[in-house]
Structure 1
Amino acid sequence: MQHGQKIVFQGEADEAPDTVTGDIVFVLQLKDHPKFKRKYDDLYIEHTISLTEALCGFQFVLTHLDGRQLLIKSNPGEVIKPGQHKAINDEGMPQHGRPFMKGRLFVEFNVEFPEPGALNPGQCRSLEKILPPKQGSQLSDMELDQCEETTLHDVNIEEEMRRRQQQKRQEAYDEDEDDARPRVQCAQQ
């Protein structure tokens, strides 16, 4: 069932002598939910797990819209990546006209990483021993001497995009002002 869909019960309105009985019409209004989002018969949620849970496994309980408690857990040995989606069949919304057929429940995983400075050098070395090797190629001293070293810094990408949009608007405004000024023409002799 969808937002704005009409459900009609024909001939079920109030009855009166010598009149045709009217219809009862319900119009569905979709209500926002703080946890679940709906697209057609499917439901979507986001769930945040720690890096340890992403690598070593997790389980959590989700209270479904009908009050049931669903135990959701990873498969043994499964690694969850940030932004990865998983689905649970038959835990979405009932399909119109087929109440026993349901859509899927999609879970999008957010993975929380440790805060900067949370790992000391010894812990980093321990992790390097058990995790897959770094993909960065090892550079020789001669290759390193030919490189210019740079430094990464934190950035708020939303703020950068707002600043860039403001800059574009200002440039467009400045161009409009340039077009509005009278142009000096050469005097004819």
Structure 2
Amino acid sequence: MAPKRDYYEILGVPRNASKEEIKKAYRRLARQYHPDLNPGNKEAEEKFKEIQEAYAVLSDDEKRKMYDMYGTAEFQPGTERTTWRWTEAPGGGFEFTFGDFSGFEDIFNEVFGEREPTRVRRRGRDLEYQLEIDFDTAIKGGVKDITITRETICPGCGGSGVRVGAGARVCPKCRGSGRSLFTSFLNISRACDMCGGSGKISTEPCNTCNGSGKRITTETISVKIPAGVDTGSRIRVPGKGEEGTISNGDLYLVIKVRPHPLFRREQDDLYIEVPITVYEAALGAQISVPTVDGTAVVTIPPGTQSGTKLRLRGKGVPHLRDGGRGDLYVITKIVLPEKINESARKKFEELAKTSPYNPRAHLDKYLR
């Protein structure tokens, strides 16, 4: 057997070439010698195989190191041999199947575009809906029934779009080959988009779906809302996206929470503004305050000012990922009566005369 050519020579790069230089050289040569662009050219086919083999070794750090030391990356301890298989595609051209070389197919698809299989098999598309819920459901969780509309596979034809038992004719676009020429910056042979790669088109479309292979269905499902969700949270419902021939897509519900008339939420903490009287602020008091769990009694310390934050631990929003909860902050707001009776007026006047307190004392030095 003739000795293999030097891999660096095959790609036209120096032995100290970087991985990026090797990748660029591979892209350039792969475009030049790809068999679909050189039909019937055995020399180009063999050259292309050499290019793939060289890149498979030189783009892998461990295999490149072994190759630099021993002149080969095969059958050495701790290394794996990269395998690939060539088969002739319908209507000419070649299919290239990659073995255990991780990541090689990605760079191949990047250069040439993803090759579609002869028989189209796909996972259904994911769907996304916005789900509006009330504040209490977001805090406590619950179950909500929703109605969704999605594409499903036609039960009459199994998604083929062809009436069961119907005859077929040769596809006029690919002429029965199952493949068509895709033109971008290169001409690449791909599965025919008219016949889906089968090479045939039925003259009798399915009566149920009119040949589309799909139908629109409406379904009501029950969705569990976990406690602690917020606006922007996403709930995944597996298998409730569009149907596919391999598997169904998933349904994603994007949560929008309606505002509450009393509570304001910041992450997992809640805030509520509570009015208090001037004498409750001055003398202190115990007042009843609403929480998401019911009524709580809060102590107002003597001398409380407007804007004081009183913390109620564990009275906020449940954490989504553990059993803890946020806190509830009671924000005080001193509110004076719009009108006072004569008795109250006299008491305020007496207080004004006897109290030495001046809240503006710190401004005296600035007065002119």
TM-score w.r.t. structure 2 length? 0.31
Cα distance, 1:92 vs structure 2: 1.0
Q: Look up the equivalent residue of 2:298 and give its one-letter code.
A: I
Q: Distance in 1 between matches of 2:259 and 2:274?
A: 18
Q: Percent identity?
A: 24
Per the alignment, residue 300 of structure 2 pairs with 74
Cα distance, 1:22 vs structure 2: 3.5
**CA 1:74/1:17 → structure 2, altered by over 3 Å: closer, same or farther?**
same
Cα distance, 1:125 vs structure 2: 3.5
Unpaired runs of 5+ residues, structure 1, are 138-146, 149-189
Matches within 5 A, 1:106-125: 106-113=329-336, 118-120=344-346, 123-125=348-350
Q: Look up the equivalent residue of 1:4 and give its one-letter code.
A: G
1:3 pairs, out of 231, 247, 250, with 231
Report how many aligned residue pairs link the two structures.
132
Per the alignment, residue 36 of structure 1 pairs with 263
Q: Look up the equivalent residue of 2:280 and give its one-letter code.
A: E
Q: Does 1:52 align with 2:279?
A: yes
Secondary structure of the equivalent of 1:27? strand
Cα distance, 1:109 vs structure 2: 0.7
Per the alignment, residue 96 of structure 1 pairs with 320
1:80-123 CA distance string (max 9 Å, x none): 1122222111111112212x211111111111235587532x65
Per the alignment, residue 22 of structure 1 pairs with 249
**CA 1:14/1:126 → structure 2, altered by over 3 Å: closer, same or farther?**
closer
Q: Are 2:280 and 2:300, in contact at CA under 8 Å, matched by a contact in 1?
A: no
Q: Look up the equivalent residue of 1:102 and give its one-letter code.
A: R
**CA 1:16/1:4 → structure 2, altered by over 3 Å: closer, same or farther?**
closer
Q: Are 1:12 and 1:24, in contact at CA under 8 Å, matched by a contact in 2?
A: yes
The root-mean-square deviation of aligned C-alpha atoms, in Å, is 3.4
Q: Are 1:61 and 1:70, in contact at CA under 8 Å, matched by a contact in 2?
A: yes
Unpaired runs of 5+ residues, structure 2, are 1-228, 362-366
**CA 1:23/1:90 → structure 2, altered by over 3 Å: closer, same or farther?**
same
Q: Are 2:242 and 2:250, in contact at CA under 8 Å, matched by a contact in 1?
A: no
Cα distance, 1:46 vs structure 2: 0.5
**CA 1:83/1:127 → structure 2, altered by over 3 Å: closer, same or farther?**
same
Q: Look up the equivalent residue of 1:5 and give its one-letter code.
A: S
Q: Are 2:314 and 2:325, in contact at CA under 8 Å, matched by a contact in 1?
A: yes
Secondary structure of the equivalent of 1:101? coil
Q: Distance in 1 between matches of 2:352 and 2:249?
A: 72
Name the structure, 1 or 2, with higher relative contact order (CA <8 Å, separation 6+).
Answer: 1
Q: Are 2:269 and 2:327, in contact at CA under 8 Å, matched by a contact in 1?
A: yes
Secondary structure of the equivalent of 1:119? helix
Cα distance, 1:3 vs structure 2: 1.2
Q: Does 1:105 align with 2:331?
A: no
**CA 1:128/1:92 → structure 2, altered by over 3 Å: closer, same or farther?**
farther
1:42-63 CA distance string (max 9 Å, x none): 1111110101111222222233
Q: Are 1:51 and 1:114, in contact at CA under 8 Å, matched by a contact in 2?
A: no
Q: Are 2:292 and 2:315, in contact at CA under 8 Å, matched by a contact in 1?
A: no
